[in-house]
Amino acid sequence: MQWNLEQIRLFVGVAESQSFSAVARKLRRAQSAVSSGIAALEDDLGVQLFERSSGRQPRLTAAGVALLEEAREVLRQCQRLDGKAQGLAKGEEARLRLAQDEAMPYQPVLASLEALGKAFPLLEVQLTTSAQGEVARKLLERRADLGLLFHHEQMPDALERQRLGTIEMVTVCGAGHALGGRTYADRSELARHRQILMTPQDSHYPGGEQIGPQVWRADSFYVMAELLMRGLGWAWLPRHVAQYPAYQGQLVELRSDWTPPSLVVELVCRRDAALGPAALWLADSLAVHLQAMG
């Protein structure tokens, strides 16, 4: 293969303008140089790209039509390469790996990622979703650059966190549960029924307090909601989980004399890894969208 990018640019330019002379004028080159470049490309590829008739515009051959989009893609790839190199030279990340707690509200995260894609179009993003505890582990093992999770007290010293916003917690049971016909249940009434809690016991999430003798545990707010729908107990859940479309009409929100404080959403990273401009931009966007949700 001897062809070069200049020849590819000539090929695409002539195909789009249907004129050797127009490309020559645009590039401020002799028309003979453009014709020679195309001829050299045809020799290297072993196919004729244009039909040439005296006094007529150059027309693509069948081979030219088949190769034109491939040639355009070569040029697009070159543009991406140049853009990524320029971004790296300015300190931008080539890749951003975001690990999030599976119970994060979808809309603020998706809105922020959509905006990130527009602000940093060449950035590669890897998004993973995990149950609580796994997000911090991925950061510690350098399998993620940023973590989006709910605040809990036991945060490894190697990680530092930034508060982004809060999410309201609500008291919930299944519509068919013994408490489902009520609109209010005080603490003593709740304690008489099975409580569904987040596991492990030392997670220290708001709402992790056991108030009665009967307890089941799960490692996911959505799993907890599934258990509630089957009448297996009551729980404190983030409001957006309790209002998830699949649970409409199947979960009942209860007023009570005590509800845990709101979940604090935090953006976490390794202390020894400086955040690049895309990560900092995403942190600001997430904070804005989470505050708008509240």
* pLDDT value at residue 83: 61
Considering Cα of 103, then 107, then 111, then 114, what sign does the dihedral take? positive
Q: For 78-116, write each residue's pLDDT tens digit.
A: 877 776 676 566 666 889 999 998 888 888 899 999 999
Domains detected in the chain: 5-89 (1.10.10.10), 95-166+263-293 (3.40.190.10), 169-254 (3.40.190.290)
Does residue 173 surpass a pLDDT of 90? yes
* pLDDT value at residue 274: 73
Does residue 252 surpass a pLDDT of 60? yes
Q: For 38-65, write each residue's pLDDT tens digit.
A: 999 989 899 999 987 766 788 899 999 9
Query: What is the pLDDT averaged over residues 261-277?
Result: 83
Report the 3 state secondary structure along 15-53: HHHCCHHHHHHHHCCCHHHHHHHHHHHHHHHCCCCEECC
Q: Are 120 and 148 in contact (CB under 8 A)?
A: no
* pLDDT value at residue 143: 93
Q: Are 135 and 148 in contact (CB under 8 A)?
A: yes
Which own/partner contact pairs does 19-24 have at CB distance under 8 Å and 24+ positions apart?
19/57, 19/58, 20/58
* pLDDT value at residue 4: 87
Q: Which residues lie below 8 Å from residue 97, measured CB to CB, with a gap of 6+?
A: 125, 126, 128, 143, 144, 145, 146
Query: What is the pLDDT averaged over residues 115-124?
Result: 92
Does residue 34 surpass a pLDDT of 80? yes
Query: What is the pLDDT averaged over residues 123-132?
Result: 87
| Omega before 260 within 30 of 0, i.e. cis | no
